[in-house]
Amino acid sequence: MDTTDQKLRAILSDVLGLKPGQADSFTAETGLFGDLPELDSMAVAGLLTEMEDRLDIVIDEDEIDGELFESYGSLLAFARSKLDAA
């Protein structure tokens, strides 16, 4: 698990109220948006702002679509692509 992966799991733990270690069980296939009814637009917006702060990236609203939150793998791939581009 690299730093980006760890930071992203920590942010999701905060948003979802997971206990320490619980997010370790996330795999690339773990579903996010569709499978987690508690992720409303305010929670998703907070998640994105926190990703910007903790990963030091800037996310444009045009980049946000449903597929991004389809699975943990897709969100992590997006974070990594932002960091590579930075």
Nearer to another protein, 2 or 62 (CB): 62
User: Are residues 49 and 13 in contact, defined by beta-carbon separation less than 8 angstroms?
Assistant: no
**CB of residue 55 to another protein, shortest distance in Å:** 14
**CB of residue 39 to another protein, shortest distance in Å:** 6
Residues forming contacts to another protein in the complex (CB under 8 A) are 11, 13-18, 36, 38-50, 53, 61, 64
User: Are residues 43 and 15 in contact, defined by beta-carbon separation less than 8 angstroms?
Assistant: yes
**CB of residue 20 to another protein, shortest distance in Å:** 9
What is the Cα–Cα distance from 48 to 74, expressed in whole angstroms?
A: 14
Query: Which tokens go with 57?
Result: 């990236």
